[in-house]
Structure 1
């Protein structure tokens, strides 16, 4: 049975809309109240908003919470003293003190009342210390003057108390900055020494999160000050303990940064011997004790030192006779010592002299370790062998590098747990021409490598190794002159006993095939994702990989489909110092290669034309670059100039003088590309007028050069010049200048007898006939036997419809002017 609702009855929809409206209004009022409560003069208005919200939603929990907060604020009061403020905010955690500190006048009043000293008093209480330090840190973010106050009477007791709380540890670098201007150098030195001693003393015994805070503060302190004068051996040793290979990655990374900065400071102040002393004494202490735990830690720290400073580490390596002790370390019954020793030797053999010594004495030892029961040791041994014996051929190398590389590839494709180790070894193996094809042909391995980068994009060492592999297998051989090749052969003959085994340079066809494997692995979309995480080294590798892949024209379309242009634009957009200029060059070269092959309409969405033109203009204007780079830039700009006048005008503005210089280049390829670019540029009316028709002597000389170039030996150059003149003869002034200067040049295309040249010649002739004001001189030239004969023969030598149409127009104009019957 149907029922009819009355007009005043509410439908479920209207009830819902009403509820939503009330909820929105209540939320709006509470938000407004929260904002107004932070201003002394608006607190009454804030209370009115809360009361209105309470009327809309009686008993609502959000309204009740807002009211409690407001009442707490009212009890605290905005005119409270600094002492009472600290007491209330530290004792009552439900009060949001930031609301009051955001008010500048309140902060200034608290500073005037000596709030820093009040906080110092609270540090002495175990129950209040955490809250007091948090308050000071929050205050310092808004007003650094509180640290000025606090640091004035900073003493060793304060440092010890601050160090018990993570927030306090974070304050040390900022406090240290404040004591720089202390009048007493001795006092300043004592405080710094106390901070360093306190932080380093805590390191061995605190939990990991606190370790991170301490190491981060130490890194900042070393960057700010020369704290090396305050360092004792136990301070350095406590940092070295954090380099233990069993520690979490974040802690090892932070400790590595601290040690790296420390070594840098010691070298800057000519105290390298002190650095050697720290490490040598540390090693001797652990070695004498023969304690497995200490040995793992000290071997781990030496491994990192090799990564930081190869020379210092090598000196200590030889001083401590680590090569002589290789058997004791690598055959140690403790598996952790054995793993740590392998880590050390893998890094040590990166130094050529140590590599030669190690490989000459360790073959039997490594052969036995290859069969170890521990999988990590087996893989680590494979990596060590590849690094130590790399480059040795024939009987000089007792190991099969193919087999070792295959083992490492297998461990990655099967999701082995030690993929970082395997990648490290393959990064070295892939530099060997004999192994590049082996590595690149395994498509499942390359795909697994790409997947690892996707899964661990922030894992710096792993990503660096993976990118190195891709870069090695896709890199083309550097082209050398015959003289350079001869010098290289003589050098190798003098240095290598097995010179007869030396490999010939790889062919471009080999590299091209490997690049195809890399492209199919799907690396390109991943490269753009990792750029923001890493240093210039990573960006260089990305740029090199993309440059190699783009060297094959067939790859350029798929590259653009996979988003290469967005990655290249990111590379260009990142901040670069002067030392990174080559990164911009190689990135711009890749953009040039892509714009040679693809229409600007395809590339514009990912790489705007103005961006492409700017980087190509930079290449063209750099006279230190090779002619092939200049040639590719010219061809790419020619393609861009075919699009519209905006592109043409921008190219001319940035590169015209350089293009003109290259039009005179002895290299016919450069000269040809310059002419073809100008041919596209003069389509723009503004360029044609400003460069050739402004009546100046410079414009006149430019036209004379074009007329001379109609007779150059290179056919494509003559064709391009014919195109330029075909456009320019559409202007009356150009036609008059040609009649005055060199009409013979206009008839030169007829000597080629090629349809495209005949077309250009007849177009120029037609334009001059129609546009010149010097008809008498023109007709006098055309009626000569030589000229009329050449024109007639040219018109009879073609069957091309396009050419014949223009010939018909020329004949018509000549008849109209009664030059011919």
Structure 2
């Protein structure tokens, strides 16, 4: 069929299939669509892309229409019913043209709808006839296409089950020949997928008896293809290495080969070059995936998870085998991963990420770029380099796309996966250790845009404790930028409610970070200030919580909580809440004494066994401010008398007196003067 005729037919099929998912293709339309994936066509570069679009539209339409309320097999049978007879007929022919048509179409179908393609591939006699053909008339092009089809098929369990020893031997032989690098790399990819897949199909029996070519040999072949710049084989070589680089020994080998890594980076076109050349999204994804494999840390397991993993290994291989496995060198521990990351940074990996997301709009490329950057900035030494290479802009772009996914929940939160959170976590790490201007630039709008994803990271159901902690720390840093930013943070949907829950978290660092964020928001946001100082029972409860946190063992937590108290006691309503708490629980003034000078409490301790918390100049200052503000707010004489009595009993008078005499831990005259004024309020009341 002429190029223009094929284009016209494909346009017509696309229009009809989009209008009606039930549209039945005519025999001539099926013949046209199955033939457009032939690489020998003069219009292959343009017509093949349109063929993928049309094929995808048909399959997606059938699955959306017939899959509703039914088993997926129903839609699979429909797709197989449309294309299966024609493809099987092609594969059973003896002439190369027909075989090539069936093989190339089935290869394309695997990439569009693997379930339907697997069903057609598994038809009786199809694989055998195809292999007989390459044995009888093994043209280079036919062998290449067969290897590509087998590479697709070996990625799926139903197809691996019918791969015969004949197919396996043929792939091994073709992977070892060196005259046709396209065939060599395609056959190597098929072998890698077959070996990896077979091991996971039956994990209890380990590797199959008939082993393939060793991973080291395959790695060397694929690395040589990329280093030698044999461009026709890049895609297959990269795909094969993406599979192989899940093995720790391969990771070490690749990372230490700087020549290879630089050649690999060069496969991703720069932003300038991308506008003038066709890009291969699959190739770019493969490059990013290899980098991701090399830089990924092992999941942090709890002690319980570690024990469960050990038990699994023992059950699988026996105690002795488990002991032997423990003795084997591991190249996936944190130190080896950090060393690989340093090698990659030195060899120039950082510019690859902005180039990759500029060259393709693939969601998988964006997600893996975010994952890579998260691993790279694990070490603080790399964060400045990441910022200089535009890493923050990359993460912002990745996050913006992820956050644009439609909300499918009542809370109107974006439909993010656990993988999407990694880019947000990476940006949070940068925002913790660098100034907002360094990370987000001079445009304050970019800083505003970061509030929502950080809030989402904090509140997402899949967030780990570490992600929550880093989200809080990033928001705390942003809140200190300006009152406007603090106000926007305080108004973020559900954020303050979540933070207040985390004030009671079991983890010390999360409690500390939550208190510090609350302190910054109270200082910078009128809304947060009102929430903690208003004349309501809810506000009083929040003040009580801050007071309790001022009695924590953790010094930074005490500083933040008492700092928040010092801020809210500017208004009489907050002071009234603290006075009411003193009369009810008799704790406020004792805690203020402990902040200002715990030694006076120690002297009064009859047993002398109770361990008192230490103080420091910051705590003293906060205690003095709180006491001054509270006593200054008292207008009722009866309240004054009662407070004076309890202040004496709690040794607050003594603590203030010692501070004024120069016997406290603070010598700053401004603080001493305010302490004197607070004491004067009490003494004046006595007179």
What's the TM-score bracket when you normalise by the shorter of the two chains?
Answer: 0.7 to 0.9
Q: Distance in 2 between matches of 1:304 and 1:711?
A: 66
List per-residue Cα deviations over 1:207-258 (Å, max 9, x = no partner). 3x553454244223212124643422x4312211111133423322221222
- CA–CA separation in structure 2 for the residues paired with 1:395 and 1:281: 36
| Residue pair 2:487, 2:527 contacting (<8 A) in 1 also | yes
1:462 CA drift (Å): 1.2
Contact 1:758 1:794 in 2 (8 A): no
Aligned partner of residue 342 in structure 1, secondary structure: helix
What is the CA RMSD across the aligned residues, in angstroms?
Answer: 3.6
Work out whether residues 473 and 514 of structure 1, in 8 Å CA contact, stay in contact via their aligned partners in 2.
yes
Q: Is residue 262 of structure 1 aligned with residue 76 of structure 2?
A: no
- Alignment deviations for residues 250-281 of structure 1 (CA, whole Å, 9 cap, x no partner): 32222122223333445544464464355454
Please say if 1:307 is aligned against 2:111: yes
Matched residue SS, 1:625: coil
**SS across alignment from 1:665:** coil
Q: How does 1:32-431 map to 2 (within 5 A)?
A: 204=1, 206-207=2-3, 211-226=6-21, 228-232=23-27, 234-247=28-41, 248-266=44-62, 268-269=65-66, 270=74, 272-273=76-77, 275-276=79-80, 279-324=83-128, 328-329=132-133, 331=135, 332-355=137-160, 358=163, 362=167, 364-369=169-174, 370-390=176-196, 397-417=211-231, 418-431=233-246
Quick one: distance in 1 between partners of 2:407 and 2:539? 38
| Contact 2:91 2:126 (8 Å CA) reproduced | no
Superposed, 1:444-463 pairs within 5 Å as 444-454=259-269, 455=273, 458-463=279-284
The answer on 1:757 being equivalent to 2:619 is yes
Residue ranges of structure 1 left out of the alignment (5+ in a row): 1-203
CA distance in 1, matches of 2:551, 2:614: 14
- Cα 1:561–1:210 change in 2 (3 A) is farther
Of 533, 543, 547, the residue aligned with 1:693 is: 533
Query: Would the alpha carbon gap of residues 616 and 264 (structure 1) be closer, same or farther in structure 2, given more than 3 Å must change?
Result: closer
CA distance change for structure 1 residues 743 and 359 in 2, over 3 Å: closer, same or farther? farther
Kept after mapping to 2: 8 A contact 1:330/1:342: no
2:82 and 2:547 map into 1 onto residues whose CA distance is: 77
**Could you list the per-position Cα deviations for residues 61-110 of structure 1 after superposition, in whole angstroms to 9, with x for gaps in the alignment?**
xxxxxxxxxxxxxxxxxxxxxxxxxxxxxxxxxxxxxxxxxxxxxxxxxx
Match of 2:379 in 1: 552
Shift in alpha-carbon separation, 1:636–1:230, aligned structure 2, 3 A: closer
Q: Distance in 2 between matches of 1:714 and 1:359?
A: 66
Contact 2:490/2:528, CA 8 A, preserved across alignment: no
Task: State how 1:716-731 maps to structure 2 within 5 Å.
Answer: 716-731=556-571
C-alpha spacing 1:448/1:616, structure 2 compared with 1 (3 Å)? same
Report the Cα offset of residue 349 of structure 1: 0.7
Normalised by the size of structure 2, how large is the TM-score?
Answer: 0.79
Deviates more, 1:652-661 or 1:472-481: 472-481
Question: Using the alignment, how far apart are the partners of 2:13 and 2:112 within structure 1?
Answer: 17
Contact 2:238 2:283 in 1 (8 A): yes
1:526 Cα deviation after fit: 4.5
Q: 2:69 maps to what in 1?
A: none
Q: Match of 1:601?
A: 437
Instruction: Determine which structure has more spread, i.e. the larger CA radius of gyration.
Output: 1
CA shift, 1:798, in A, is: 5.8
SS in 1 for 2:470: helix
CA contact (8 A) 1:380 1:421 kept: yes
Shift in CA distance, 461/246, structure 1 to aligned 2, threshold 3 Å: farther
Query: In structure 1, what is the equivalent of residue 337 of structure 2?
Result: 511
Tell me the distance in 2 between the aligned counterparts of 1:667 and 1:241: 62
| Deviation at residue 317 of structure 1 after TM alignment | 2.2
> Judging changes above 3 Å, is the alpha-carbon distance between structure 1 residues 252 and 701 closer, same or farther for their aligned structure 2 residues?
same
Q: Distance in 1 between matches of 2:304 and 2:509?
A: 23
* Aligned match of 1:671: 511
> How many Å apart are 1:640 and its aligned residue?
0.9
The 8 Å contact of residues 359 and 388 in structure 1, kept in 2 or not, is answered as: no
Structure 2 partner of 1:562: 389
Matched, 1:592 2:406: no
Structure 2: gaps of 5 or more residues: 67-73, 200-205, 409-414, 583-587, 599-612
* Aligned equivalent of 1:465: 286
TM-score by length of 1: 0.67
> Which residue is equivalent to 1:476?
297
Q: CA deviation at 1:692?
A: 3.0
Alignment of 1:779-794 (within 5 A): 779-784=644-649, 786-790=651-655
Secondary structure of residue in 2 paired with 1:534: coil
